[in-house]
């Protein structure tokens, strides 16, 4: 049952309702002691709110993968900071809920003390300004820039807040873990890693150790090797140099071997596709070219078996096979349905030969450059790019780079002599 409420105004702005006297709220002035206490509490709450906002932005913006790398391979200070922060960041949702609860508690408590020492208009202006500048902008700017050091220094405070808010934060964090999952580690795809490596080539104040062009090329080559197969890089049979077992190891053949400069030479019988083995050129050093020994005789004495790999074998698999030491040259054959691409086996007569691959071919794909020695005629056998032409191009490029570097250093009158084909290749 609701009764009638009678209120009337007394002198001194006193309001009496059904016998209960209500006094108007008095705004404190700086002459009152409580004014400074409330002001101090308000400033402390603004700083706490700003600190929680900054820690939320700083700690939660740190990627778990980056922290793991810094904890093992960073600078000494970075390792120390990362190791202290890592246990916090691993509890992603618990950390998030704790910081947001602490920030909300501080922000919601601020009007209770500000209203005691100012009028409503002043309270709104001061509150908006203080929260915006000192509670959001400044702390978040500092913590995003120095989040690692600030987070490490204040980690004991964060642990204390976790303990205080645990009855509320822990259930909420568990719900988030169940709904969104616990893992928040960032992994990059190969294309993203390749782009990331390219960006680290950029020089600047923020990049203390920029990657060189060669480092970028090698890293990107290693990332791209997984998707490459033997058939993409092998030398086709029409470009393979080989010897007929029915020939003669005479002066002409020896001169041909010397001019080719190969360390291993396949031997065939009948047609070039019918390969029966290979010989190491170094085993021929004691042979007298004037003796005109049959190649078959030499082959029977120094022959080595030819190993094959299917044409769809990945380059990393071939590299692993080369590391076993059985051979540094494989014959590439067309793959049958039951072929094992991770095993090198002996070449059989029924195999369909596609081409030939060597350890040098795989290394060239890894470093993304052609390896040219003193006896090579072509840089690229497939496109018939000659060594002399390639050298002139590289020398011209190197000369231009050298001139640009000297220009930056205020060095003038630089003359770069053109080199003939007998000079070593610039790498």
Question: Based on the domain organization, do 123 and 196 belong to the same domain?
Answer: no
* Helix or strand run (H / E) with residue 149: helix 147-153
- Three-point CA angle 324, 237, 323, nearest 5°: 10
86 and 99 inside one domain: yes
Cβ-based neighbour number of residue 161 at 10 Å: 21
**Same-domain check for residues 129 and 145:** yes
Look at residue 170 in the predicted model and tell me its pLDDT: 93
Same domain, 215 and 281: no
Q: Judge if 151 and 194 occupy the same domain.
A: no
* Rounded Cα–Cα distance for residues 51 and 114 (Å): 19
∠ CA 306-312-317, rounded to 5°: 70
- Residue 260 maps to which CATH number? 3.10.580.10
CA distances from 276 to 52, 266, 268, 328 (A): 76, 8, 5, 17
Domain shared by 222 and 233, yes or no: no
- Within a domain: 111: yes
Would residue 168 count as lying in a domain? Answer: yes
- Residue ending a domain, among 320, 346, 369, is 369
Question: Same domain, yes or no, for 143 and 53?
Answer: yes
**Are residues 155 and 216 located together in one domain of the fold?**
no
Is 51 within the bounds of a domain? yes
Strand arrangement of the beta sheet that strand 243-244 belongs to = 243-244, 264-268, 275-280
Q: Report if residue 411 sits inside a domain.
A: no
Q: What is the pLDDT of residue 415?
A: 37
Q: How many domains does the chain divide into?
A: 3
Q: Does a structural domain hold residue 7?
A: no
pLDDT at 377: 53
Chain-centroid distance of CA 396 in Å reads 33
Q: Same domain, yes or no, for 221 and 278?
A: no
Of 369, 387, 413, which residue is a domain's last? 369
Q: Which candidate, 359, 348, 352, 317, places its Cα nearest to that of 332?
A: 352
Rounded-to-integer distance, Cα 423 and Cα 157, Å: 67
Residues 240, 171: one domain?
A: no
Instruction: List pLDDT tens digits, range 72-102.
Output: 888 888 899 999 999 998 888 999 999 999 9
In a domain, 162, yes or no: yes
Q: Tell me the C-alpha distance between 392 and 422, whole Å.
A: 11
pLDDT at 421: 37
Measure the CA–CA gap between 108 and 326, rounded to whole angstroms. 74
pLDDT per residue as tens, the chain (427 positions): 455 667 666 665 566 676 666 655 666 777 788 888 888 998 999 999 999 999 998 888 888 888 888 888 888 888 999 999 999 988 889 999 999 999 999 988 888 888 888 877 888 888 888 888 888 899 888 888 888 899 999 999 999 999 999 999 999 999 998 988 876 677 778 888 888 888 888 766 667 778 888 888 888 888 888 889 999 999 999 999 999 999 999 999 999 998 888 999 999 999 988 999 999 999 999 899 899 999 999 999 999 999 999 999 999 999 999 988 888 999 999 876 555 666 788 888 888 999 999 999 999 998 888 887 665 555 554 444 444 444 455 445 544 544 444 444 443 333 333 333 333 332 2
Q: What are 230-244's pLDDT values in tens digits?
A: 999 999 999 999 999
Residue 45 inside a domain? The answer is: yes
* Sign of the dihedral through C-alpha 141, 145, 149, 155: positive
CA dihedral 384, 425, 222, 70 (to 10 degrees): -160
- 270-275: which pairs have CB atoms within 8 A and are 24 or more residues apart? 272/237, 272/240, 272/242, 273/237, 273/353, 274/349, 275/242, 275/306, 275/331, 275/347, 275/353
356 burial level (CB within 10 Å; 0-12, 13-18, 19+): buried
Task: Provide the 10 A C-beta neighbour count for residue 18.
Answer: 9
Indicate whether 53 and 79 sit together in one domain: yes
Measured distance CA(127)–CA(45) in Å, rounded: 11
Q: What is the number of residues in the chain? A: 427
Q: Strand pairing partners for 15?
A: 9, 22
Domain extent, residue 221, equals 190-202+210-226
Same domain for 214 and 245? no
């Amino acid at each position: 049952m609701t009764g009638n409420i009678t209120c009337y105004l007394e002198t001194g702005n006193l309001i009496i309702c059904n016998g209960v006297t209500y006094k108007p709220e008095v705004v404190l002035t700086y002459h009152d002691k409580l004014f400074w206490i409330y002001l101090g509490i308000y400033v402390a709450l603004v700083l706490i709110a700003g600190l929680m906002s900054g820690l939320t932005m700083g700690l939660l913006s740190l990627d778990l993968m980056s922290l793991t790398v810094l904890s093992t391979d960073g600078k000494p200070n970075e390792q120390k900071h990362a190791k202290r922060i890592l246990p916090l960041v691993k509890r992603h949702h618990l950390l998030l809920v704790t910081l947001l609860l602490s920030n909300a508690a501080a922000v919601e408590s601020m009007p209770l003390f500000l209203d005691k020492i100012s009028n409503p208009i002043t309270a709104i202006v001061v509150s908006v300004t203080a929260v915006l500048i000192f509670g959001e902008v400044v702390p978040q700017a500092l913590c995003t820039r120095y989040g690692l050091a600030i987070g490490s220094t204040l980690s004991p405070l964060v642990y204390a807040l976790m303990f205080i808010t645990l009855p509320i934060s822990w259930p909420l964090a568990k719900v988030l873990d169940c709904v969104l999952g616990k893992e928040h580690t960032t992994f990059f795809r190969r294309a993203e890693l390749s782009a990331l490596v390219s960006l680290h080539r950029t020089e600047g104040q923020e990049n203390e150790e920029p990657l060189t062009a060669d480092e970028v090329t090698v890293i990107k080559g290693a990332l791209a090797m997984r998707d490459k197969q033997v058939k993409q890089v092998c030398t086709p049979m029409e470009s393979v140099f080989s010897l007929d077992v029915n020939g003669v190891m005479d002066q002409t053949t020896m001169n041909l071997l010397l001019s080719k400069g190969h360390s291993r030479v396949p031997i065939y019988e009948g047609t070039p596709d019918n390969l029966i083995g290979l010989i190491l050129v170094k085993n021929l050093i004691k042979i007298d070219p004037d003796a005109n020994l049959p190649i078959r005789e030499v082959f029977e004495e120094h022959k080595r078996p030819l190993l094959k790999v299917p044409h769809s074998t990945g380059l990393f698999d071939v590299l692993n096979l080369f590391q076993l030491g059985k051979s540094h040259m494989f014959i590439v054959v067309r793959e049958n349905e039951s072929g094992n691409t991770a095993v090198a086996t002996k070449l059989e007569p029924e195999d369909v030969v596609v081409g030939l691959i060597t350890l040098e071919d795989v290394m060239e794909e890894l470093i993304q450059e052609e390896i040219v020695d003193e006896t090579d005629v072509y840089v690229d056998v497939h496109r018939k790019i000659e060594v002399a032409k390639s050298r002139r191009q590289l020398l011209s490029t190197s000369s231009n780079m050298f001139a640009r570097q000297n220009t930056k250093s205020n060095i003038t009158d630089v003359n770069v002599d053109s080199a003939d084909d007998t000079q070593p290749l610039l790498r």
